[in-house]
Amino acid sequence: MSATETTGGGRTGGHWRRHRATDITARGEPFLWMLGGGLAFGVAMIVGFLVLVLWNGLAAFYPGPIALVQLTSGDTFAGEPVRSEPFEPPESEVATLSDALRAEIADNAGMAVRTLYRIGNFDLYGEDFRWVPDHAVASITYPPDYYHVERLEWGPFIGRILRVNFDGLEVAGDAVSATALHEQHGAARERWRRLRSIVKGGIGEINREIEGARLDLRRAALRHGVGAPEYAEVKRELDATLAGLEREYATLAAEAARLKALDERFTITFVDGAGSETSERLSSVVRMFPANDLGLGGKLGVYLSRWGEFVGDEPREANTEGGVLPAIFGTAAMTLLLVVFVAPFGVITALYLREYARQGRLVSIVRVSVNNLAGVPSIVYGVFGLGFFAYIVGANIDTFLFAERLPSPTFGTGGLLWASLTLALLTVPVVIVATEEALAAVPRSMREGSLACGASKWQTIRRVVLPRAMPGVLTGLILAMARGAGEVAPLMLVGVVKLAPELPIDGVFPFLHLERSFMHLGFHIYDVGFQSRNSEAGKPMVFVTTLLLIALIALMNAGAIIVRNRLKRRYAVGHF
């Protein structure tokens, strides 16, 4: 009888019945259920997070109705209902209610219901949202003539059109036709775009050329001295350049003044639910629509228009409105530069450790150190990047190459280049470990066969080992890309800023300006969620930006995964 078998249970039909007792730790079913439960829990968490982001992100731009609320106190306001929740009203407020309302609150364990309305009109009341208890509401209507107005400044306005002024022709709001209003608004927005192009494009370019000429003169003074002939030659060229630039500036300034004066003759006046008025230049209205008078097609048009603005325009109103195009570009550019920097460092290090270094205590210490680097807090890398890259390397670059710009730093402060290098250091341990594992997975027989055919060690590595290890290398790069794109703490020290509408790329040599500060979607989420004047106003933008960041990372990872899978199929051959 084995050690796991016992007898017992008495005689049955004249025979002893034998029982097999097995230790529960020797059975796989409990652990299988535990592993399956852990996997299901993890998947449920991921799916739940994605559903939360998708639900709130995709619904953020869908236009809601406008309610005109009449309070029992006689006050009136208009707003967009956001959500309702139970709350416990103070005793002093309950004492002023009717007997029926007090009884209803008592039946609900002292709880009442309140609704949050987005009233907008920050320039009039200094707040964007308002909580209103349901028992304080006398009536709610949804008038079709109330507009949701999105402005360049002061956030949204909710109210009626009182009157419009089209170049001296004043028309009452209820008398203006929708077609005329749409045409005039489109023309006003086109004037605004032209004016902006002149100011930021033409005049901005002239200012950059003037600054460049001034720096050339200062460079000549530093190199040759103020009294040198070279300095005099540069100064003559500068005077000639400035004369031409001043003429261009005068022409553009006159055109900008004309457009601005014309723009001020087209105005629109709104009135809110309480009767307060505000006047705006028609060009400062980004979008306006009668929220209660829109069909499904109109609502989808507003929804798509808001998405187009979000992915293709600059932010406004402390980043709580407008678009995130600079942040999208900054995130993508930084991530791609990160991959360019981390790939050679990680692959070369892994190749040396696996293929060339003599395995021993020193190599083991190096491997342990690399693994420990993966656990260093990211903010420490940010401090190192600021101190080493910006204050040491960047300051020396400024001293030798950009002395004429000092004391204003060029590379001696945070920028796109230093942010990418800092994140490359942060993610290089991931690439090293993944590359080493990929190199170790290449069968030894392939190396020996290549060497037996007369190839050198480097030829074997380059033509046999590396191609078959490349899918594993790309896996490490994908992991590094995913982590680096989502990091925020180091970027706050080495280049990311709240607002940088000027992209790091333009038509001026060297085209890609690695010294410039940039915006990042991860920092944008932090800034809108925790630094905006109103967390409620920034909450929709937080979910939308989170959704966009996930989509951007997924898109870049998908491209790398496609390349990796193609390499796998290419080298899916039998081993020796």
Q: Phi and psi of 136, rounded to 5°?
A: -95, 0
Q: Are residues 518 and 454 in the same domain?
A: yes
Q: Are residues 384 and 517 in the same domain?
A: yes
Q: Are residues 469 and 556 in the same domain?
A: yes
Read off the pLDDT of residues 424-474 as tens digits, 9 standing for 90 and up: 999 999 999 889 888 888 888 888 888 888 888 888 888 888 888 888 888
Closest CA to 419 of 338, 534, 479: 338
Read off the pLDDT of residues 519-531 as tens digits, 9 standing for 90 and up: 999 899 988 888 7
Helix 521-531 to helix 535-570 angle (10° resolution) is 160
Read off the pLDDT of residues 11-44 as tens digits, 9 standing for 90 and up: 555 555 555 555 656 666 777 888 888 899 999 9
Q: Are residues 337 and 261 in the same domain?
A: no
In a domain, 133, yes or no: yes
Q: Which domain holds residue 205?
A: 159-306
Distance CA 447, CA 240 (A): 68
In a domain, 55, yes or no: no
Q: Are 496 and 518 in contact (CB under 8 A)?
A: yes
Read off the pLDDT of residues 147-170 as tens digits, 9 standing for 90 and up: 999 998 888 999 999 999 998 888
In a domain, 415, yes or no: yes
- pLDDT for 4 equals 43
Q: Are 150 and 537 in contact (CB under 8 A)?
A: no
Beta bridge partners of 69: 77, 140
Give the distance from CA 98 to its chain's centroid: 50
Radius of gyration of the chain (CA): 34
224: which residues sit within 8 A by CB, 6+ positions away? 230, 231
Is pLDDT above 80 for 135?
A: yes
- pLDDT for 13 equals 55
Q: Are residues 245 and 350 in the same domain?
A: no
DSSP state of 508: S
Element (H, E) at 78: strand 76-87
In a domain, 515, yes or no: yes
Q: Are residues 99 and 213 in the same domain?
A: no
Distance CA 492, CA 382 (A): 8
Q: Are residues 418 and 540 in the same domain?
A: yes
- pLDDT for 576 equals 38
**Number of domains composing the chain:** 3
Confidence of residue 2 (pLDDT cuts 50, 70, 90): very low
Beta bridge partners of 6: 19
Read off the pLDDT of residues 81-98 as tens digits, 9 standing for 90 and up: 999 999 888 888 888 888
Confidence of residue 244 (pLDDT cuts 50, 70, 90): confident
| DSSP H stretches of helix in 264-377 | 296-312, 325-351, 361-373
In a domain, 314, yes or no: no
